[in-house]
Structure 1
Amino acid sequence: MGIDFPSAIVLHGPPGCGKTFAVERLVEFIDWPSYSIDSNSVGSPYIHETSKKISEVFDKAIDGAPSVIVIDEMESFLSDRRSGSSSGLHHVEEVAEFLRRIPEAIKNKVLIVAMTNLIEMIDPAILRRGRFDHIIEVGMPSREEVASLVDSLLSKLPKADDLNVNKILDELTGKALSDSAFVIREAARLAAKAGKTELDQTSIEAALNSLPKDQEKKSRRIGFVWDDK
């Protein structure tokens, strides 16, 4: 059918929607060597050094192909060169390095997966067809997805027979999957602290109440009081 090795993939969506989790499971499933590009691994304050480190990662991935390159927070390297937020020639050089290396890596059977919370900031030259063919929006988890995770976590713990799972799902649907995992862990900790031998509704509700409320987060302020004394 003339199908070539897949072009690069972008996953974009709000923080906590599960982009990183999805990429980790993909890498685990295909079981290829994986290489990471992020601000911690390749970022440098020195001119040319970041581009050099990016090139080294691509070289390693090509040498180890078939392999995977994971680009985390791609807006750190690949924001629009025309925007005021980009840092001059230094930034242009980094974008140019990606433009040069991505097609080469794809030809050498390197799967490239990038993630961003800010797809609107990415340079249009990077997102054109032939480099990133698949631009996939990842939304916050559905009720079904939350239920799958909660069921999996609860199956490993002793729990009360009258546990109201539907109430848990009502509270957690639309929140990050990390919140669901936290609630079950925190409920187990609270139950153990209270001397209980199983997870009960009281412990679950206490854990749910410890999650930050959206309204409270929006209204939080830091203020200063002037004291003439």
Structure 2
Amino acid sequence: MGNDAAIEAIRRAVAAVPSDGALRLHLAQLLTDAGRGSEAVVELGVLLAAEPDHPGARELMLAALTPPAATPETTVAPAPREPGPDAPAPETHSTSKGFDWHAAESQLGDIAAPMFVTSGEDQEQPGTEPVEAFETQRPTIKLSDVGGMEQVKERLDAAFLAPMRNPELRRLYGKNLRGGLLLYGPPGCGKTFLAKALAGELGAAFISAGLSEILDMWIGSSERNVHELFVQARQAAPCVLFLDEIDALGQKRTQTRNSSMRSVVNQLLTELDGIGADNEGVYVLAATNQPWDIDPAMRRPGRLDRTILVLPPDAAAREAIFRSNLAQRPVEGVDLRRLAAGSDGLSGADITYVCELATERAMMEGVRSGNVRMIGMADLQHALTQVRPSTSGWMDTARTVVQYGEDDGTFAELKAFLKKSKHW
């Protein structure tokens, strides 16, 4: 009875301080000595779950699982009998010391809970369809909504629109509906808008993916994301697949020290080739501000073999961008032609920022005076003096590349533009 009282006292102490491993080990020892091995095993299981390498816990677990040895006074060994034809085979689980490992394992199966479980919320429910990893859009804008850029539109028409609209000529000339095109140029000049306009012109689906949607910290996940992206595009065909920041996804493997990034480039090349699948009806457009950093294999025939230089908007395009940004704002007396002439060198994003600054100036003057007024030319011209072309840095880098880099003819169009501009 006294031993039971001591056990209960130690059990209450363990309940008060459950993290005390030494106290729980002492309780398990008392339970084992009292012949209450199953209770000792429970306590030791809790202790080993928290401290797998706790000294003495494993040895005591073995002792707690070992059934008490029968004494000569209480146990009489039966006389040996000859085994009959239907007698069961002798047990082979016991060791030379008499410990029954099979019995021990069966006991542990009842008292040891699994270490890791999966909640019902995370389990896939039957009948549910997988969610698409990338958003599929249906753009309504057309190339007619893109101001200026006539040369770019002609290139897009020859590469995609004409073969799509003339199936008989396509079959006559053996022109398939697969292809890849690289849009490059300074940032903020409408490469993404062009890709959406092309999808709207084709009546095709539009899927856009960039670095953040594809790269993953786990080994192999980035390559799987690339594969799933192309699988989704093939299922949605006809589809314009837009790869943004292709210089980051398809960077030169000779300059990549990270083996996982080289694997991503290899997977991207495999998908562009359509190995194991058909890319018919998948129009791959890629955009970059750094075309000289792309792996040369990306531009081989059948991949992104055609390139289009997207330059800062010309006068007609700048006028259209001003018109679009000011269409829903309270303006009066605005001369779009003068604004276009005074914004040479600005990108589309720069012009949008000019309109934002002009709006803020008019609004804040209205707040201070208490009289709401319209946005006028003075506001827009003042904003133009505050904005510097964001394309200047890119032009300087491009000039260095075409002057001193390896010239394989890829940037001939860019070189011709720079020679005619003030950036040469």
Considering the TM-score relative to the shorter chain, is it more than 0.5?
yes
| Alignment match, 1:80 | 252
The letter of the residue matching 1:171 is G
The letter of the residue matching 1:90 is S
Residues 1:96 and 1:11: Cα distance change in structure 2 (over 3 Å): same
Q: Choose which of 237, 241, 245 in structure 2 pairs with 1:65.
A: 237
| Alignment match, 1:176 | 347
Q: Using the alignment, how far apart are the partners of 1:152 and 1:70 within structure 2?
A: 24
| Alignment match, 1:39 | 211
**Alpha carbons 1:103, 1:130 under 8 Å: kept:** yes
Q: CA deviation at 1:135?
A: 0.9
Q: Choose which of 97, 100, 107 in structure 1 pairs with 2:267.
A: 97
Q: Give a deviation string over 1:33-70, Cα, whole Å, max 9, x none.
A: 22232111111122211111111111111122221211
Q: Using the alignment, how far apart are the partners of 1:213 and 1:128 within structure 2?
A: 33
Unaligned runs of 5+ in 2: 1-171, 367-371, 394-424
The letter of the residue matching 1:92 is R
| Alignment match, 1:9 | 181
**Alpha carbons 1:7, 1:130 under 8 Å: kept:** yes
The letter of the residue matching 1:198 is M
Q: Using the alignment, how far apart are the partners of 2:211 and 2:389 within structure 1?
A: 31
Unaligned runs of 5+ in 1: 218-229
Q: Using the alignment, how far apart are the partners of 2:266 and 2:355 within structure 1?
A: 45
Q: Does 1:208 align with 2:384?
A: yes
The letter of the residue matching 2:380 is I
Larger radius of gyration: 2
Q: Using the alignment, how far apart are the partners of 1:157 and 1:37 within structure 2?
A: 32
User: With structure 1 as the length reference, what TM-score do the two structures score?
Assistant: 0.82
| Alignment match, 2:228 | 56
Q: CA deviation at 1:126?
A: 1.2
Q: CA deviation at 1:7?
A: 0.9
Residues 1:184 and 1:101: Cα distance change in structure 2 (over 3 Å): same
Q: Give a deviation string over 1:160-181, Cα, whole Å, max 9, x none.
A: 33x4444422331211111212
Q: Give a deviation string over 1:10-36, Cα, whole Å, max 9, x none.
A: 101111222122112222333322223
**Alpha carbons 1:70, 1:113 under 8 Å: kept:** yes
Q: Using the alignment, how far apart are the partners of 2:346 and 2:389 within structure 1?
A: 11
Q: CA deviation at 1:117?
A: 0.8
Q: Using the alignment, how far apart are the partners of 2:389 and 2:210 within structure 1?
A: 31
Which has the bigger relative contact order, CA under 8 A and spacing at least 6?
1
Bigger strand fraction: 1
Residues 1:27 and 1:14: Cα distance change in structure 2 (over 3 Å): same
Q: Using the alignment, how far apart are the partners of 2:324 and 2:294 within structure 1?
A: 36
SS of match in other structure, 2:305? strand
**Alpha carbons 2:178, 2:280 under 8 Å: kept:** no
Q: Using the alignment, how far apart are the partners of 2:342 and 2:229 within structure 1?
A: 42
The letter of the residue matching 1:50 is S
Q: Give a deviation string over 1:105-163, Cα, whole Å, max 9, x none.
A: 663321111111111111111101111232111111111210122234445444333x4
Q: How does 1:109-120 map to 2 (within 5 A)?
A: 109-120=281-292
Q: Give a deviation string over 1:67-123, Cα, whole Å, max 9, x none.
A: 12111100112111122xx13421221111111111216633211111111111111
Q: Using the alignment, how far apart are the partners of 1:45 and 1:197 within structure 2?
A: 52
| Alignment match, 2:332 | 160
**Alpha carbons 1:12, 1:137 under 8 Å: kept:** yes
**Alpha carbons 1:17, 1:177 under 8 Å: kept:** yes
Q: Does 1:185 align with 2:361?
A: no
Q: Using the alignment, how far apart are the partners of 2:205 and 2:222 within structure 1?
A: 22
Q: Using the alignment, how far apart are the partners of 2:327 and 2:279 within structure 1?
A: 44
**Alpha carbons 2:176, 2:280 under 8 Å: kept:** no
